[in-house]
Structure 1
């Protein structure tokens, strides 16, 4: 198992999916869980700041996530909501919803069950989020914490929004990621932070392929490659070390 944590705009989702493919592993986006519950909260007309109501809803919401890195399905009551959970309304409210202790309790328990089921079935999974190495799976044999400069993260987020057809600017994206960082790193329940034994990887000056090479090499050193081919001869891990 690989635990991949970090704030938004560090390339976490793209890296996690590609790494899972590289390792012939499954993939779990825990952030999508918080987003789908946030969407359920908004659709129910519940105030995201109403801790009791949000926590109660989290127990009852019906959703599912696929673990195929090529097509990670996200459904709310059977409806495909993979695109909608990335919209601005959900993005604005997700930090408030994800900070509710009951929500985290419910979803962390579900994440652990999914991880255990996958490990028992296929033997490998890459899990991305903000508290995987610290809370969800502190026993993971490889923990990675992705970082990037604020300017780079804002530019990436703005490009992602534009590519998805959402109005965006670098300035607005920077305000959004800094606000999310502040809320996620100061919440009482499972705040965003690197695990003490996580390997930090700054993606500011790296391409996605360079990050994948670096993480594949880390996985090889931890004995997690299995039957997967090693990194190509001459490939560089950009100085990332265990």
Structure 2
């Protein structure tokens, strides 16, 4: 079921879902009603993408609670095989809206936690994909989510490291509540580190794919005796930067036997 954006029925539905999650064990819900919960995720994901009021954050918290739960494996499995995966596009759009706007740091952290959960379901390439809703007027680059998640995770890592250093080494508070705060921040730090690692891995894979295409182009040029041209010069420069980035021997640049000039 769906509700018109901002409607009283929609707000009530969100509250009912929150009540259900807070009163019934997620272990029971996930194991016995994973199909129904997955359909609920799809509906909430749409609202997360299209809403522009406080209910957007309610949807964010619900999605994060459902998908990041330690009992969420059955729901993950169900979502992974759903024939209609539009829910993942809605989540991507919603996360981008959170990360690129001025919202509370806690909300951005929740968006990163949600991103990590979706990646665990669909893989890193989910970060690259459609960013436009059916009625969207402006086109959004397909890599917007990837870049925002990487930048936001990098910032979160720096913030959490500073906070943990203070809590562990500069405060005399050894209470149980302080220990719980440290434990929570350590878990959040692990998520931020994981996102940085996964986004860098994805970028590296994309670059490798592009480099493979460029190498084939250079090989074709060599086979046909072509050694000059702006296109070949640009191709060699790209390979050179990639070789330097991955610490390959620079002599590998000369394997193709090119003597390139700009004229």
TM-score normalised according to structure 1 size: 0.29
Higher strand proportion: 1
Question: More relative contact order in 1 or in 2 (CA 8 Å, sep 6+)?
Answer: 1
**Which TM-score applies when normalising by structure 2?**
0.27
